[in-house]
Chains A and B, each alone.
Chain A
Amino acid sequence: MSGEPLLEIRGLKTWFESSDGVSRAVDGISYSVFDSETLAVVGESGCGKSVTAFSIMRLIPSPPGRIAGGEVLFQGRDLLKISSADMRAVRGNEISMIFQEPMTSLNPILSIGRQITEAILQHTDCSVAEARDRAIAMLGRVGIPAPERRIDEYPHQLSGGMKQRAMIAMALVCRPRLLIADEPTTALDVTIQSQILDLLAELRDEFKMSVLLITHDLGVVAEVADRVVVMYAGKIVETARVDDLFSHPLHPYTRALFRSLPSIVTPRGALPVIPGNVPSPLDFPSGCRFRTRCSIARAECATIEPELDELRPGHSVACPFTDATAAGSAT
């Protein structure tokens, strides 16, 4: 990976305040997305991966949320510092987003067409008729049959997969440089899932955009990602190229994740699970946040906060005690 990153996150902190205290959902993370690549951010629910995505878009509801520090550099510009009017010009235009729940993410009382043309009219100077033509073309491109008819339909008339295709059309109609896809296939049937993933991969190449894919599903990661960021409890624990990660997972958490995957080569039986629960963001353990569930935890883990360390080229891990050479294959 060379050149300037398209998006660079530096030390981002997003905290939520409640009557019970401050919840540090995202606590000082940094990563970059380069041109035309797909970066997957994986982790269990509540690890802060979606909050990161919403922080990039500045869509964190405030209160209770606030971005407590860091920078989000998009093409060299810190999105956290620009005016809200400038930010609106970025949203849906240069950075778009699609969401987990296509059922609830479309406005039920507006037609699909109205919701897509709205985005076009917001960001470009074109006539309503022109916007409509572009919307129809885009609906056709994302694989919705009879788009000239479908454009006047309402969300409840579309199936789940069709809704997600419409969402993608809405997000891509202004040709963004970056698409943030927050669990885009989680709510869909398995057969539909791979169709949507294939579509995203196709469109990425066609539109020469980058994709930031938020998911908890390692299968999805294997299928579409170029690089992977693994998050745990608001921190990045490991980042690597996808093949490196799958062949040599380094962090104990990543390894545990792979072990808990069902596999066709290992004999059937009870899958190993990661012991314990995800810690509450209101009081994370001191030191390494994974130590309470870690199989190789030592006494020092409670006092040192592990930093990301590039153990292999392009492969960093936040655990000083991992054995880089003994990393077994999990695929």
Chain B
Amino acid sequence: MKTFLLRRLLALLPLLLAVTFITQTLLVLAPGDYFSKLAENPSITAARLEMLRAQYHIDSENVFVRYGYWLKGAVQGDFGYSFKFQAPVWSLIADRIVNTLILAIGALIISWGLAIPLGVISAVKKDTVFDRLAGGLSFVGLSIPSVFFSLLMVFFAQKSGLFPVGGIHNQVYWQYFTPWQKVVDTLWHLVLPATVLGTIGMAQYMRQMRGEMIETLSQDYIRTARAKGLSERKVLFGHALGNAINPLITLFGFSFAYLLSGAFITEYVFSWPGMGRLTVEALLDKDEPLVMASIVMLTAMLVVGSLLADLLLAYLDPRIRLE
């Protein structure tokens, strides 16, 4: 198990190198940079611009020079300063990661909390009205664009006044809140964006769960369990569920990774200060050090997500655990 972990973490290194190098190449290829906007300002001279570019080491058009400079800093743990915020990138990212994790966990609870029971019931009650309704619902969830769904939710929040329209805290009273009020306030802000992401995920995992469960229920060992005289409930939860859920564990890792990186549209619409929005805005601003650090972070989280899934699977499945 230790060697497995070690091997997986070691495999992360070439991946990170490849991803950052590609990103760097594309950034160099992109016309203009963060300071291009300043060039429109007549009070800033061309010489001054050159000086700024040299100061931030983005004057070279040679990818290897630029990447080499970034890599040299990165291996020493120095990912540089954000051009826009004039702060070390890690201090910016640290906050955002926590926010993104809150959103991701909220969405995971909603999506898996609904997907597993609904999928199991659909499989057991295959071809009934319930199954058809749940199937239809899952197609809706699968097809609704997150932008559109998020906008509908914002509209609902604004019209009903039940939920905040965006953000993660109450901007005005946050500092006066007790810790408990802070938690409640954050959860209250979390409901709508987590619902959007959770519903979309739920649709996908429910269909998967239903399929796996139907497959499992047709296995020989389920027949054996019934032949032992076990009640249908014991057959379902004692024998079928554990087997049906294993293939979904891998998906669980992916879903976590997807939420960490793929939630940016929802973060964008709800003004949720997460990694996604930070990265997209940094990209649009060409805030290079911030883009690079975000990409490193997102890739690492993707890998860690699937690694966690593998570990969970090994814990649950004796065939993998004992190898």
Q: Which residues of A contact B (CB under 8 A)?
A: 57, 59, 88-93, 96-97, 99, 101, 104-111, 118-119, 122-123, 154, 156-157, 167, 170-171
Among A89, A96, A111, the residue within 8 A (CB) of B227 is: A96
| A59 contacts B226, C-beta separation under 8 Å | yes
How far apart are A49's CB and chain B's nearest CB, in angstroms? 16
* A241 to B229 CA separation, bound complex (whole angstroms): 32
* A291 to B225 CA separation, bound complex (whole angstroms): 40
| A170 contacts B242, C-beta separation under 8 Å | no
* A91 to B219 CA separation, bound complex (whole angstroms): 18
Looking across the interface, which residue of chain B has its beta carbon closest to that of A85? Answer: B231
Q: Which of B13-21, B72-80, B314-322 contacts A (4 or more CB under 8 A)?
A: B314-322
Among B221, B238, B317, the residue within 8 A (CB) of A105 is: B221
Q: Find chain A residues with CB under 8 A from B230 CB.
A: 88, 92, 118, 122
| B40: Cβ under 8 A from any A Cβ | no
Looking across the interface, which residue of chain A has its beta carbon closest to that of B126? Answer: A63
| B246: Cβ under 8 A from any A Cβ | yes
Besides A90-B229, A91-B226, A119-B229, 13 more A-B contacts (Cβ < 8 Å) are: A59-B227, A88-B229, A89-B229, A91-B228, A99-B220, A104-B219, A105-B224, A107-B221, A107-B243, A109-B246, A110-B242, A154-B318, A157-B322
Interface residues of B in 301-323 (CB under 8 A from A): 316-319, 322
Looking across the interface, which residue of chain B has its beta carbon closest to that of A180? Answer: B227
| B229 contacts A101, C-beta separation under 8 Å | no
19 A-B Cβ contacts within 8 A? A91-B229, A96-B228, A99-B224, A104-B219, A105-B220, A105-B221, A105-B224, A107-B221, A107-B224, A107-B239, A119-B229, A122-B234, A154-B319, A156-B318, A156-B319, A156-B322, A167-B224, A170-B224, A171-B227
Q: Find chain A residues with CB under 8 A from B238 CB.
A: 110, 118
How far apart are B262's CB and chain A's nearest CB, in angstroms? 31
| B223: Cβ under 8 A from any A Cβ | yes
How far apart are B160's CB and chain A's nearest CB, in angstroms? 46
How far apart are A109's CB and chain B's nearest CB, in angstroms? 5
Q: Find chain A residues with CB under 8 A from B220 CB.
A: 99, 101, 104-105
Among A59, A97, A104, A109, the residue within 8 A (CB) of B318 is: A109
Looking across the interface, which residue of chain B has its beta carbon closest to that of A119? Answer: B228
Q: Find chain B residues with CB under 8 A from A59 CB.
A: 223, 226-227
Among A93, A96, A104, A107, the residue within 8 A (CB) of B225 is: A107
How far apart are B248's CB and chain A's nearest CB, in angstroms? 14
Q: Find chain B residues with CB under 8 A from A99 CB.
A: 220, 223-224
Q: Find chain A residues with CB under 8 A from B318 CB.
A: 108-109, 111, 154, 156
* A66 to B221 CA separation, bound complex (whole angstroms): 21
Among B219, B228, B243, B322, the residue within 8 A (CB) of A118 is: B228
Q: Find chain A residues with CB under 8 A from B242 CB.
A: 109-110
* A91 to B235 CA separation, bound complex (whole angstroms): 13
Q: Which residues of B contact A (CB under 8 A)?
A: 219-221, 223-231, 234, 238-239, 242-243, 246, 316-319, 322
* A123 to B316 CA separation, bound complex (whole angstroms): 28
In the complex with contacts A107-B239, A110-B239, A156-B319, A57-B227 CB distance below 8 A: yes
How far apart are B225's CB and chain A's nearest CB, in angstroms? 7
How far apart are B1's CB and chain A's nearest CB, in angstroms? 17
Q: Find chain B residues with CB under 8 A from A156 CB.
A: 318-319, 322
How far apart are A142's CB and chain B's nearest CB, in angstroms? 16
In the complex with contacts A154-B322, A156-B319, A108-B231 CB distance below 8 A: no
* A106 to B221 CA separation, bound complex (whole angstroms): 5
* A110 to B235 CA separation, bound complex (whole angstroms): 12
In the complex with contacts A99-B220, A118-B230, A108-B225 CB distance below 8 A: no
| A122 contacts B223, C-beta separation under 8 Å | no
How far apart are A265's CB and chain B's nearest CB, in angstroms? 39
Q: Find chain B residues with CB under 8 A from A167 CB.
A: 224
Kindly name the residue among A89, A90, A104 whose own CB sees the greatest number of chain B CB atoms within 10 A: A104
Q: Find chain B residues with CB under 8 A from A118 CB.
A: 228, 230, 234, 238
* A90 to B228 CA separation, bound complex (whole angstroms): 9
How far apart are B19's CB and chain A's nearest CB, in angstroms? 36
| B223 contacts A105, C-beta separation under 8 Å | yes
Q: Find chain B residues with CB under 8 A from A108 CB.
A: 221, 243, 318-319
Q: Find chain B residues with CB under 8 A from A93 CB.
A: 229
Kindly name the residue among B221, B238, B317, B322 whose own CB sees the greatest number of chain A CB atoms within 10 A: B221
Among A90, A106, A109, A154, the residue within 8 A (CB) of B224 is: A106
* A75 to B116 CA separation, bound complex (whole angstroms): 43
Q: Find chain B residues with CB under 8 A from A90 CB.
A: 229
How far apart are B242's CB and chain A's nearest CB, in angstroms? 5
Q: Find chain A residues with CB under 8 A from B224 CB.
A: 99, 105-107, 167, 170
| B246 contacts A97, C-beta separation under 8 Å | no
Among B219, B229, B319, the residue within 8 A (CB) of A123 is: B229
In the complex with contacts A99-B223, A99-B224, A101-B220, A109-B317 CB distance below 8 A: yes
How far apart are B314's CB and chain A's nearest CB, in angstroms? 12
Q: Find chain B residues with CB under 8 A from A107 CB.
A: 221, 224-225, 239, 243
How far apart are B100's CB and chain A's nearest CB, in angstroms? 33
Looking across the interface, which residue of chain A has its beta carbon closest to that of B240? Answer: A107
* A252 to B238 CA separation, bound complex (whole angstroms): 49
Q: Find chain B residues with CB under 8 A from A104 CB.
A: 219-221
| A92 contacts B316, C-beta separation under 8 Å | no
How far apart are A186's CB and chain B's nearest CB, in angstroms? 13
Among B223, B231, B322, the residue within 8 A (CB) of A88 is: B231
* A157 to B223 CA separation, bound complex (whole angstroms): 21
7 closest Cβ pairs, A-B complex: A91-B229, A92-B228, A92-B229, A104-B220, A107-B221, A154-B318, A105-B220
Looking across the interface, which residue of chain B has its beta carbon closest to that of A170? Answer: B228
* A243 to B69 CA separation, bound complex (whole angstroms): 91
